[in-house]
Amino acid sequence: MADRPHKRTILVTGCSSGIGAYCARALNTEGWLVVASARTEDDLRKLREDGLEAFYLDYSDDRSIRDFFDNAMAVTGGTCDALFNNGGYGQVGAVEDVPVEALRAQFEANVFGWHQLTRLVLPVMRRAGHGRIVQCSSILGLVPMRFRGAYNASKHALEGLSVTLALELENTGIHVSLIEPGAIDTEFRSNALTHLHRNIDIENSVHRDDYKAQLRRLDQALTSGKRRLGPEAVHAVLRHALTSPRPRYHYPVTREARIGVIARRLLPSRWFYPFLARQD
């Protein structure tokens, strides 16, 4: 838009709730021109009422990704200083219980859609000679957990793809960073529960007792009222990744995530993997 060329522009995806919703609104308050995405008209309306540009995006729908990008370029005058890829979901289930279709859907939402949007943004950043690409990954992209195989794999793939991209963009003025949160107080766990019941045959699984135990713990966690770190913790490191002259490649968030990174680096596999096998 003609009256906004001085504003830094950022595309933020997955803004229906949680990390994306918080970060998009916080960046808008800080003076960014934020183009946000969501998947329902109600969420889009709320974002627009708060002063954000907002358009539909479904990472598993190629056409919607292209439309979102085109709409974003229309409101920013063809500029994009930053992209914050966020959103997606976590498919819970033992590796042997996850149908191929569910694994494919996990990668569509958590990897392939992100890759497509990133490829659309990169030529814009190259023409400008600068840019920031920040991927909201997960500590599970570095330190896996049992019964999270599909999600672990999608985040490991994202880590590998993003670090490779960072290497290829050296000396271009475009920086790539990965944020790796542990458990954050969002709707992620309840959404993961939906996908568990949708795609996993719990009653006929050899892991049935493990699933039942995990469901009991999840129910206790959701009703206990115990607070985890909120999305503001992610916003704090996102702001550094977007504005620092020397942004980091990796930003682990939460105490557990930082401990996991250190343990992975220091402990031999014969100790580290058995330790992970006892975690839920």
Strands of 131-136's sheet in order across: 53-56, 33-38, 9-12, 82-85, 131-136, 174-181, 250-253
Alpha-carbon span 120 to 266, nearest angstrom: 38
Alpha-carbon span 236 to 233, nearest angstrom: 5
- Residue 136 in contact with residue 181, Cβ under 8 Å? yes
Tokens encoding 156: 């490991």
Report the interhelical angle of 18-29 vs 232-243 (nearest 10°): 50
**73 C-beta neighbours (distance < 10 Å), count:** 18
| DSSP secondary structure letters along 57-87 | --TT-HHHHHHHHHHHHHHHTS--SEEEE--
Alpha-carbon radius of gyration of the chain: 19
Q: Which residues are catalytic?
A: 151
Q: Is 36 helix (H, G, I), strand (E, B) or coil?
A: strand
DSSP code of residue 14: -
Alpha-carbon span 107 to 119, nearest angstrom: 17
- C-alpha separations of 90 from 19, 127, 211 in Å: 14, 35, 15
Name the one residue in this structure whose structure tokens are 């985890």: 228
Alpha-carbon span 36 to 87, nearest angstrom: 11
